């Protein structure tokens, strides 16, 4: 699907009742309502608040509806070794506390000027939400233990990693976190070489808690991300007096194009450009999203045709 096709289908949906007149929408208004409908589509297909009462992965269509807005990020942690060289972004654990490196090419002890603490307390670690985070759909954690050789000045070097095993996490909330931490038979306690760290969501980060017998060596988060918004004017309008190089993106006649080979100034020539397709959502979902976008727009201006589109949006399911 391309930008021009989205706008063309919008016009067809709006005009298909064959009335004498209908509201006129600017390209940026169409973009706004398509983006609003896309977010609503994602939320209803995930939650099950739709005509079929089926949520994400409860049937094949629900899985296919959201397959292009799913991604996984992984956060790695290693035991701190004072003789190893670290780089910006490296994450380590040392004596129950976790740290992230702030600069490149450092070794030796952990100093505040070189490392950021990412522990809310001993045996806890927090990770930031991805910038495009929307809804969590899956998580895992790998836990590790190690034997440490004591060195002078209270330093130590991990001798060997005894175990790193992929596990589920144990969900916790702000209200029940303390009670779960103090539960003597909770699954986050290390037992038989395995454990499921406690996880709690906060306003700006994801926190994991262990006991003193292991550390989190990897945390994986699978989530629905916010798709890039459709924006007619995200690229400059084609200018025939300018020269373009490979990768330059332009707007021409209501459509986004990317330059595929260097070209001098002159009239627009498709030999040098190709259309940019919008792939933020699966192709089969756009009909439903556009029906929803038109419905939202008509509702916003209190059009009597709203009820027709409300019923049709259910039929597209």
Cα–Cα distance between 194 and 197 in angstroms, integer?
A: 10
Within 10 A of 88 (CB to CB), how many other CB atoms are there? Answer: 12
**Got the DSSP string for 161-215?**
EEEEEEE--EEE-TTTHHHHHT-TT-TTS-BTTB---EEEE-SSEEEEE--TT-E
194-234: pLDDT as tens digits: 888 999 998 889 999 988 888 888 999 999 999 999 999 99
How far is it, in rounded angstroms, from Cα 19 to Cα 30?
20
Buried/exposed code over 278-291 (b: 16+ C-beta within 10 A; e: otherwise): bebbeeebbebbbb
How confident is the model over 58-63, as a mean pLDDT?
76
Alpha carbons 244 and 4: distance in angstroms, whole number: 22
Helix (H) and strand (E) counts in the chain: 6, 15
Long-range contacts of 108-115 (CB under 8 A, 24+ apart): 108/82, 109/82, 109/153, 109/155, 110/80
Strand order across the 115-117 sheet: 78-79, 91-94, 97-101, 115-117
**Tens digit of each residue's pLDDT (9 = 90 or more) over 264-275:** 999 999 999 999
| pLDDT tens-place string over residues 9-27 | 988 888 765 445 566 789 9
Q: What is the pTM of this model?
A: 0.80
User: How far apart (Å, rounded) are the C-alpha atoms in residues 259 and 276?
Assistant: 10
Residue 50 CB-half CA count within 13 A: 24
Q: What is the pLDDT of residue 188?
A: 85
Q: Tell me, what's the pLDDT at 317? A: 54
Q: 93: closest CA among 197, 215, 220?
A: 215
Q: Closest by alpha carbon to 33, among 236, 232, 175?
A: 232
């Amino acid at each position: 699907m391309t930008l021009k096709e989205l706008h063309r289908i919008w016009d067809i949906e709006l005009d298909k009742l064959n009335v004498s007149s209908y509201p006129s929408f600017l390209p940026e208004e169409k973009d706004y309502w398509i983006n609003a409908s896309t977010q609503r589509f994602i939320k209803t297909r995930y939650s099950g608040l739709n005509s079929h009462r089926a949520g994400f992965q409860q049937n094949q269509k629900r899985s296919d509806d959201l397959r292009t807005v799913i991604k996984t990020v992984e956060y790695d942690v290693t035991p701190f070794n004072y003789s190893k060289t670290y780089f910006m972004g490296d994450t380590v654990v040392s004596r129950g506390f976790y740290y992230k490196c702030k600069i490149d090419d450092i070794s030796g002890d952990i100093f505040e000027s070189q490392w950021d603490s990412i522990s809310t307390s001993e045996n806890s670690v927090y990770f930031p939400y991805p910038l495009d985070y929307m809804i969590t759909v899956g998580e895992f954690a790998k836990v590790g233990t190690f034997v440490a050789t004591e060195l002078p000045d209270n330093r130590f070097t991990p001798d060997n990693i005894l175990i790193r095993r992929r596990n589920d996490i144990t969900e916790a909330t702000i209200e029940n976190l303390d009670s779960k931490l103090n539960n003597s038979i909770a699954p986050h306690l290390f037992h038989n070489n395995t454990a499921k760290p406690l996880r709690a969501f906060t306003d700006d980060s994801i926190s994991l808690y262990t006991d003193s017998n292991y550390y989190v060596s990897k945390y994986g988060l699978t989530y629905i991300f916010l798709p890039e918004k459709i924006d007619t004017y995200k690229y400059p309008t084609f200018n025939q007096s300018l020269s373009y190089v490979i990768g330059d993106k332009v707007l021409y006649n209501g459509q986004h194009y990317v330059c595929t080979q260097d070209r001098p100034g002159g009239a627009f020539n498709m030999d040098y450009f190709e259309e940019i397709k919008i792939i933020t959502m699966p192709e089969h979902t756009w009909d439903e999203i556009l029906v929803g976008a038109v419905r939202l727009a008509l509702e916003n201006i209190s059009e009597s045709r709203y009820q027709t589109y409300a019923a049709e949006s259910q039929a597209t399911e």
